[in-house]
Structure 1
Amino acid sequence: MPSRPDLVRRVAAGVALTGALGLGALGWGSTLLGEYSVMDMGGGQAGHVHNGATGPGAASTVSVTGLIADPLRAPDVRIELVARCQTIDIPGGRPVEGYTVNGTSPGPTIRARQGDLVEAVFVNESVAAGATLHWHGVDVPNEADGVAGITQDAVPVGGRHVYRFTADDAGTYWYHSHQVSHEQVGGGLLGAVVIDPAAPPSNQHDADAVALLHVYGGQHTLNGRVQDEHVPAGPGTAVRVRVINTDQGTAAVWSAAPIRVAATDGHDVNGPAAVEGRKVLIPAGGRLDVTVQAPAHGSARLHVGGARSITIGDPGSGAPPSRQPSDTLDLLAYGEPAPLGFDPQSPDRTFDYVIGRRLGLIDGRPGNFWTINGQLFPDVPMFHVRQGDVVHMRIVNESGEVHPMHLHGHHVVVLSRDGIPASGSPWWVDSLDVHPGETYEIAFVADNPGIWSDHCHTLPHAVDGLVAHVMYEGVTTPFTINGGAGNQPE
């Protein structure tokens, strides 16, 4: 394994280019990556520790490959997922070259019940760069996280990999490749995951629909079709629509009829009120469950993502489209407060995650790259934690673009935005839009050991260095990036 000085060093050509362009005063940096391990990243930037713990050494060492679901338990849900590079037929649109799962894109929806053990056998039939499956928003054991170069090697053509996890949290999630992800996710290597509650909730809806949004070659689709959809429902029937934003930008949801936000990123909202005259925004990678009641006569139209919509109600009737509202629902104050189950005001670890931009060279590629706490990738923070820590993180966006920040393996609760404390239902997310100039305070409990990516889900931003990691004390990985296995996790 290369040493850190070998991984991060001045490149003579980069220095020469900097001097030639007269940009040295602008803070150009230069890195030459080669093959590297995420364990060499971060330079020991452990953040501020409140509980007296000072670093590695107290915990026994375990590899990410040992952080697994019960190996002796028989699966309750088992599915084989075959990835191919092929032409995708887009009903209502034109075919595109991309990636399929079991011959379609989106791939099959995986449905399980809370508490089920899910086993997914992934086969790469023809994706030349290799591929993986990441279970976005599902707090899986680290071995099943599907990040090439961190928790596994990319699965080569002709190879297979078995993912096993317990569906602990009911909700709406999705799966996608985490290898060359800006290309493979954009190209359609993805699908939906729905975990139903173990017991029907008291506010059980009458019908359920998945609305997966994706853009294929400029074509805005709903569940893989350039077409709107209809959900038949009798008068007064409550329909839960699970909107999944698999794209690179923010999606809007709205209706002329009253709607309620039932869940964000798989976590139910406590005491959701009716939303009228406002849109609700979903970050890239995020999910929003909304409930719509079929009217006494006709149908209600739910706009999802701006270009597509779903009508709910009488199959023989339509509902006119409505203009996107200018006002946005503020989820910081939506719903009713409820206990968190931990005290975020007494954290064990406190971190800053400050996003900026800087000119530089990474592997000889010049650009205006993203920075984290002022540093270019890979000289970015490694957030060290111990199991059981309460972690407080301050995310600051000093760049000029929106960043949907996604932490693997955990859900975080939003504590405040720009100093304004949360006042509604606990706002649990795994994907959070941070707009230019905004500061968010979030918190989570470190209850899932591993090495976890914490990155922007506008995936080209991750390519350009907007990715850090949360590392648990005593956890190691045998996998490397940019080596012979071809791992490129982004």
Structure 2
Amino acid sequence: MPSRRELLRGVAIGVAVTTALGAGALAWSSTLLGEYSVMAMGEGHSGDGYAGHDGHAEHGTSGADPSAASGSTGAVNVNEVDVTSLTADPERPADVRVELVARQDTVDVPGGRAIEGYTVNGTSPGPELRARQGDLVEVTFVNESVTDGATLHWHGIDVPNAADGVAGITQDAVPVGGRHVYRFEATDAGTYWYHSHQVSHEQVEGGLLGAIVIEPASPTDAAADLEATALLHVYGGQHTLNGRVSDEHVDAAPGATVRVRVINTDQGTAAVWSAAPFRVLATDGHDVNEPTDVDGQRLLIPAGGRADVAVQAPPEGDAVRLHVGGARSILIGDPEASAPPTPQPAETLDLLAYGTPTPLSFDPASADRSFDYVIARRFGLIDGRPGNFWTINGRMFPDVPMFHVREGDVVVMRIVNDSGDVHPMHLHGHHVVVLSRDGDAASGSPWWVDSLDLHPGESYEIAFVADNPGIWSDHCHTLAHAVDGLVAHLMYEGVSTPFTINGAAGNRPE
């Protein structure tokens, strides 16, 4: 039975929506979606003329004509490129070949209770994939029994657009009995993960996911003696480490360095800390320049984010406990030893000032495009559902900004959180460097991310080079927020998609 608070909230929403409709503030035509193409969504933002201006984008309107969204000027491009043609070299033989089979299944959770969810090759998480930097990876994805269809998105890997795995944008969802082949070059060494991007708020939470590690082509100074993966996921309220409701132990000789690859696949922020000093070697697959010891602080990892941390094994007969995600931990050292839990530090490591600065390969001060991405909330309707939905630059889905760029552009974006929730923002196909937070300039190692937490009231300025043509989602990775409209897209001039959402193919990316 609904609580009094829920009933009052329902009444408030109904009154707000009725009032707004009566005032003509909400248009049913824009909220009853039916079948649609992202090409026809929202308002086109060109972001032209950043250099020498006040940093705010100039706006053009794409309207409801899909052709108008194909370029930053709104003009039809006769040399339009289909997303399906944006692939890895089709003539190059694969260095790594894998088949992954998705099933709608009972998920065994060792140490806990089984749940109804999804498996990949019979388990959740699915198998950890490994490749070496420069390898051509070929994954054949088979949907054996996922009734809503499924895809694979390579979270954090800057794949060609055709391999991005977003239903309704870069492919159709793979139906039961179907298969789809993903091909991409493992360009950047680092820690990543894969997951479905079809009904993602259900399928990711239900376990259709796994880890992927790209090893460096040659050893680096940050190479460790040992390494371990720490994939965090909550199955039906059960906090797991690599799919198990238990801690893990890494047998490491005294003084050995262990690289722990922490992958946060959950919907909220994960904390990492230890009583012993540790170092942050990488964030979201990009190395930190000259990391230093972190002592008495916690590292926070956004939903979807990853961090590689280095822990040194203590003297013989001892172990050190690395807390990962709050509920789970990894003991490193003598396999017979233990170490007591330690309270989570109140102080958070500031990655904006961590490590040593090093020059970027491009100049954000000479950006070609500048965009605002302002997140807020208001009452309204999405696809006929009344609710308190997210807005982007004051607009509600699907009438949200489409950020138009040309290949080669240097792009600066100011992301502002004017809501009361934390939003882990994830841009597909690109890594961004953080320039500032709340006006304070970055002073440490370049902080490269593909998943960035925005706390209430915060604003970040980020930059990237538009070097991966396609149509790319830019959304909140608290996936329930994406369902409620916290999704925009980065659209390259001259690129189009033949795929649609909510049509016969059943595509529902969020």
| 1:380 matches 2:400 | yes
Query: Could you give the per-residue CA deviations for residues 28-72 of structure 1, whole angstroms, max 9, x where no partner exists?
Result: 564110100000012322234348984556783110000000101
Contact 1:27–1:358 under 8 Å retained in 2: no
**Residues 382-406 of structure 1, C-alpha deviations (whole Å, 9 max, x = no match):** 0000000000000000011000000
What does the per-residue CA deviation read over 1:296-331, in whole Å, with 9 as the maximum and x for residues that have no partner? Answer: 131111000000000001111111111100000000
Instruction: Give yes or no for contact 1:18–1:28 (8 Å, CA) kept in 2.
Output: no
In structure 2, the partner of 1:412 is 432
| Map of 1:209 onto structure 2 | 228
Confirm or deny: 8 A CA contact 1:177 1:184 kept in the other structure.
Answer: yes
Contact 1:28–1:359, Cα closer than 8 Å, also in 2: no
The answer to whether residue 265 in structure 2 is matched with residue 246 in structure 1 is yes
Counterpart Cα distance in 2 of 1:333 and 1:223:
31
108 and 391 in structure 1: CA distance in 2 versus 1, 3 angstrom threshold = same
Question: Offset of 1:203 from its aligned partner?
Answer: 2.9
Instruction: Verify the 8 A CA contact 2:373 2:393 in the aligned structure 1.
Output: yes
Is 2:491 the partner of 1:474?
Answer: no
Structure 2 equivalent of residue 166 of structure 1: 185
Partner of 1:13: none
Alignment counterpart, residue 397 of structure 1, candidates 397, 404, 417: 417
After superposition, where does 1:85-484 map in structure 2 within 5 Å?
85-297=104-316, 298-484=318-504
Supply the distance in 2 between the matched residues of 1:29 and 1:22 (Cα, whole angstroms): 10
Contact 2:20 2:26 in 1 (8 A): no
Match of 2:61 in 1: none
- Contact map agreement 1:409 1:448 (CA 8 A) in 2: yes
**3-state SS of paired residue (1:39):** helix
Q: Secondary structure at the match of 2:352?
A: helix
In 2: Cα distance, 1:122 partner to 1:455 partner: 24
Q: Are the aligned partners of 1:240 and 1:291 in contact in 2 as well (CA < 8 Å)?
A: yes
Cross-structure match for 1:34: 34
- Amino acid of the structure 2 residue aligned with 1:429: V
Cα distance in 2, alignment partners of residues 227 and 327 from structure 1: 26
Amino acid at match of 2:393: N
Instruction: Name the SS for the 1:356 alignment partner.
Output: strand
Is 326-335 or 44-53 further displaced after alignment?
A: 44-53
Distance change (3 Å), C-alpha of 1:178 and 1:36: same
Contact 1:56 1:474 in 2 (8 A): no
Kindly indicate whether the alpha-carbon contact (under 8 Å) linking 1:415 and 1:422 is maintained by their aligned counterparts in 2: yes
SS in structure 2 opposite 1:369?
strand
Which residue is 1:7 aligned to?
A: none
Note the C-alpha offset of 1:19.
Answer: 7.3
Deviates more, 1:23-32 or 1:235-244: 23-32
Write the letter of the residue equivalent to 2:340: P
Distance 1:21 1:221 in 2: 45
Q: Secondary structure at the match of 1:460?
A: helix
- What is the alpha-carbon distance in structure 2 between the residues aligned to residue 351 and residue 284 of structure 1? 24
Distance in 1 between residues matched to 2:116 and 2:171, nearest whole Å: 27
- Partners of 1:29 and 1:376 within 8 A in 2: no
1:68 lines up with 2:87 in the alignment:
yes
CA distance in 2, matches of 1:112, 1:56: 41
Q: Which residue of 2 aligns with 1:3?
A: none
Structure 2 runs not aligned, ≥5 long: 1-13, 52-57, 59-71
Q: Is the 8 A contact 1:414 1:426 kept in 2?
A: yes
TM-score by length of 1: 0.94
Which segment is superposed worse, 219-228 or 201-210?
201-210
The answer to whether the 8 Å contact 1:406/1:430 transfers is: yes
Letter matched to residue 233 of structure 2: H
TM-aligned CA deviation for residue 478 of structure 1? 0.2
- Count of residue correspondences: 476
Q: Name the SS for the 2:159 alignment partner.
A: coil
The letter for the 2-side match of 1:32 is: L
Q: For the residues of structure 1 that align with 2:290 and 2:17, how far apart are their CA atoms?
A: 60
Partner of 1:44: 44
Residue 332 of structure 1: SS of its match in structure 2? coil
Give the AA of the match of 1:38.
Answer: V
Q: CA offsets per residue over residues 77-129 of structure 1, 9 Å max, x none?
A: 00000000010111100010000000000000000000000000000000000
Q: After alignment, is 59-68 or 428-437 more displaced?
A: 59-68
SS at match of 2:323: strand
Aligned to 1:186, the other structure's residue is in SS state coil
- Give the whole-Å Cα distance in 2 for the aligned partners of 1:42 and 1:362: 14
Separation in structure 1 between the aligned mates of residue 471 and residue 79 of structure 2, nearest angstrom: 15
CA contact (8 A) 1:233 1:314 kept: yes
Q: Taking structure 1 as reference, are residues 282 and 24 closer, same or farther at Cα in structure 2, changes over 3 Å only?
A: farther
In 1: Cα distance, 2:223 partner to 2:75 partner: 46
The answer on whether the counterparts of 2:414 and 2:462 sit within 8 Å (CA) in structure 1 is: yes
In 2: Cα distance, 1:161 partner to 1:22 partner: 44
Is this contact kept in 1: 2:16–2:379, CA < 8 A? Answer: no
CA contact (8 A) 1:29 1:359 kept: no
Alpha-carbon displacement from aligned partner over 1:347-367 (angstroms, at most 9, x marks no partner): 000000000001011111100
Quick check: 2:372–2:393 contact (8 Å CA) kept in 1?
yes
Gaps of 5+ in 1: 1-15
- Tell me how far 1:25 sits from its aligned partner: 6.3
Residue pair 2:230, 2:263 contacting (<8 A) in 1 also: yes
Q: What RMSD in Å do the two structures reach over aligned CA positions?
A: 1.8
